[in-house]
Amino acid sequence: MNVKSVYSTKAEKYAKYRWDYAIGAIEAILEIAQISIKSSVADIGAGTGILTRHFAGKAKRIYVIEPNVEMRQILAGELASFPSISVLDACAESTNLPESSVDLVTVAQAVHWFDPEPARNEIRRILKNDGWMAILKNYSVNEELDKAMSSLLTEEYGADFSATLVKPKERPVQYYFGNHDFQKMTFPFQFQQNWEEFIGAILSTSFMPNEVHPLFRRLENEAKKIFSKYSDSGKLKVQGETELVIGQLSRA
């Protein structure tokens, strides 16, 4: 499976059910990188624009880089009312942006899909000398629930890891910064999910099956057991953290 098309059947669920990022993490980026209405931002691997929308109206120009057509169509539709946003059919390894053109590069959840060396070279090329890079990831902090959920992420319930086997080998975040002079912070968040949102979030994952898969009913039945155990009155409390890594890139 082509890593650039792995989310083609997942785009709608991704937009509707994927977790948002802690507002504290967004505020930290704006403050540390000193983003203003004079700034330019490139959100790389933007997916359906979950992170992008937080910068709408806060920067002069926002370049949204997304290689998947289905995801790009969704974010273009949802962010069409913002003239500052340009949605580009491009990728981390080749953004098609001018050299030294952006003050901030953001990457949310997508960095593990990048081909590290060409992506790092491209990010360095488009960033201004005093520009910043911010990498965000969301994590659950409910260990008991996480353990139960991990039991679903198997071939027994239709998981298909073929795309993850062909994607480039992941590098640690310091690879992109070229040094250890970056900040790592975590910001807690919590919200509630109903059953539709719970199963939708599971199905938005790249390797999990869709409803037409022959093992979907088995997955659904087991997921209902987990939801029933950990929910209260049809609502499950999600407790998580947004991890933010932010810094300026070494030019050495």
Residue 252 pLDDT class (50, 70, 90 cuts):
low
* Burial of 13 from C-beta contacts in 10 A (0-12 / 13-18 / 19+): buried
pLDDT band at 250 (very low <50, low <70, confident <90, very high): confident
Tell me what pLDDT residue 173 has: 86
Whether the pLDDT of residue 164 is over 90: the answer is: no
Q: Is residue 2 part of a domain?
A: no
237's CB contacts (< 8 A; 6+ apart) are 190, 191, 192
pLDDT in tens, 36-88: 999 999 999 999 999 999 999 999 999 999 999 999 999 999 998 999 999 99
Position 158 in a domain: yes
Is there a domain that residue 5 lies in? no
Q: How many domains does the chain have?
A: 1
CA distance 83 to 56: 9
CATH value at residue 124: 3.40.50.150
Is the pLDDT at 224 greater than 80? The verdict is yes
- Tell me, what's the pLDDT at 195? 98
- Is 161 among the domain residues? yes
Residue 1: is its pLDDT beyond 60?
Answer: no
Cβ-count burial 159-194 (b if 16+ within 10 Å, e if not): beeebbeeeeeebebeebbbeeebeeeebebeeebe
Residue 3 lies inside a defined structural domain of this protein: no
Q: How remote is the C-alpha of 44 from its chain's centroid? A: 9
Q: What percent of the chain has pLDDT over 70?
A: 97
- Cβ within 8 Å of residue 115, ≥6 positions away: 92, 93, 168
Question: 113 lies in which domain range?
Answer: 11-247
- What are the φ and ψ backbone dihedral angles of 172, each rounded to 5 degrees? -65, 155
